[in-house]
Amino acid sequence: MCNLCKAGFPQGHNNPTRRAFLRGAMASAAAAAFLPAFLTRPVAAQEMPLGIGQAGRRTLIKGEHILSQDKTIGDFTGDVLLEGNRILELGPEIDATDAAVIDAKGRIVMPGFVDTHHHQFETSLRSYLPNGIMYEDPTRPGEPNYLDDILGVFSRVYRPEDVYIAQLFGGLSQLDAGVTTVHDVSQIHHSPAHSDAVISGMQAVGRRGVFGYFEGYGPDLAYPQDARRIRDEYFASDDQLLTMLMGGEVYLPGVDPLELWRLGQELDLLIGLHVVGSLGMQETMDALIPHYTDKHLFIHMTGMSDAAWNRAQEVGAHISLSVPIEMQMRHGLPPIQKAIDMGMAPSLSVDVECTMTADFFTQMRSLMTVQRMFANQIALEEGPEEAPALMDVRDAITFATVNGAAGLKLDHKIGSLTPGKEADIILLDADALNVAPLNNAAGAVVTLMERSNVETVLVGGQIKKWKGAMVGHDIAALREQIVASRDYLFETAEVEVPLFD
């Protein structure tokens, strides 16, 4: 018995006659019997192609505005041809008569967004901490904070079923917003059953992800030793939608971070950790400098010494920025310019939905406006020649796609629309009321769009959202489940839902 079990865990002519309708239906059925497994005719724009992403099946995304994120291909008006789960060809006009057709007229076609740090278990706690910071502030007595209330109270009462629905609902919400890849940092591994629930929830979403095996609490805790079982049972192959990362925090009481890092290296995993200067981590991170590697993912990287930055740059460690949260919750100034000046390529991440939205349009706008705010102020005070270069919209999209894929060591699979890569693709509505008329494709994505513009989403060539609707999930039923889970969590934690504060 698995750990979860143990835990209890056609459209016809207008107004057709009955005879005409039946005659047409019979003819269609007869014709279908002679069709090959893949579609041999173009699919009308309003129809969802069936079986897309399966081996041998070809799909033509018929063209409009392509933001490839591949420097050798560039941006153009044209088509993208898929075969199975991979991108086969890009071009101004591709002839593929045997392919099912997705009509992308009036759409921007681009790679899906990559989120390199997201605490998905907190989906049930959305907006609970809109004004909070990370830790207790003596000038704000009694106000909830992240470390004491989210991790110290709520996380301790999660059951495996609470973990599962939070993972599933939060993952679908991000997929709906065009985030096709996530690194989940669920600090909720109180038992093997909790860990299995995280993975099962991620699998049920059907998007690409990196399972971050971080800490937990309680008498059934098997962290970090259970990493070996999890790796063998779920991640023996890297050729799947989900891969694994080893949590290697430096702040856990009684845990030597080097032991966590060595375990990650033994299992050939990426190693992720929060690096936050306002939590007093600088001295510890300085002591660990000789042990940095190119498989480290440093989240936030606020308030660190030049020596730590130099070593991270030297070995090729990756930096994940959560700009809105870093500003909101007192992590310290987002080190955007520091990373740029050092020639590094940071990615974007949403962090915690108890405090801020998980959509990537917010992330890109925050990144760009914060960088430009500081650069513009230097230009005003010291002159334009002294100011850093202003970030532009293409930079923001690169942070949200290419850099994220590289940071998770997935850039050989995703991050750009490149022949041979897997087809993680989003279609954005550029004819919508908030965008039309389209004058600059990349500019519209970053400065005008939001989640409602995400019309169609593919992961590994398979359609996950079609024409504005999620595919394969009963969202209303899932909403009832997460509300019931929320009610349990608040009741068990003896906290009232602060609907009106």
CA 167 and chain centroid, separation: 12
Neighbours of 329 (CB within 10 A): 21
Encoding tokens for residue 82?
A: 């898929």
Q: What six digits make up the tokens of 45?
A: 């724009």
Residues 6+ apart with CB under 8 A from 364: 348, 393, 396, 397, 399, 400, 445, 446
Q: What is the CA radius of gyration of the chain?
A: 24
The domains of the chain, with CATH numbers, are: 58-111+424-470 (2.30.40.10), 113-408 (3.20.20.140)
Query: SS3 letters for 375-426?
Result: HHHHHHHHCHHHCCCCCCHHHHHHHHCHHHHHHCCCCCCCCCCCCCCECCEE
pLDDT at 336: 98
The Cα–Cα gap between 436 and 444 comes to 9
Are the C-beta atoms of residues 339 and 319 closer than 8 Å to each other? Answer: yes
Cβ proximity of 258 and 291 under 8 Å: yes
Distances (CA, A) of 448 to 350, 393, 435, 453, 465: 19, 11, 6, 10, 21
State pLDDT tens for residues 302-334: 999 999 999 999 999 999 999 999 999 999 999
Tell me the pLDDT of the chain (501 aa) as tens digits.
Answer: 555 555 555 444 344 444 443 444 444 443 334 333 333 334 344 478 877 888 889 999 997 899 999 999 999 999 999 999 999 999 999 999 999 999 999 999 999 999 999 999 999 999 999 999 999 999 999 899 999 999 999 999 999 999 999 999 999 999 999 999 999 999 999 999 999 999 999 999 999 999 999 999 999 999 999 999 999 999 999 889 999 999 999 999 999 999 999 999 999 999 999 999 999 999 999 999 999 999 999 999 999 999 999 999 999 999 999 999 999 999 999 999 999 999 999 999 999 999 999 999 999 999 999 999 999 999 999 999 999 999 999 999 999 999 999 999 999 999 999 999 999 999 999 999 999 999 999 999 999 999 999 999 999 999 999 999 999 999 999 999 999 999 999 999 999 999 998
Tokens 């269609």 appear where? Answer: 28
Task: Report pLDDT for 38.
Answer: 34
Tell me the pTM: 0.91
Distance, CA of 390 to CA of 374 (rounded, Å):
9
Sign for the CA dihedral angle at 451, 454, 455, 461 comes to: negative
Q: How far apart are CA 428 and CA 259, in angstroms?
A: 45
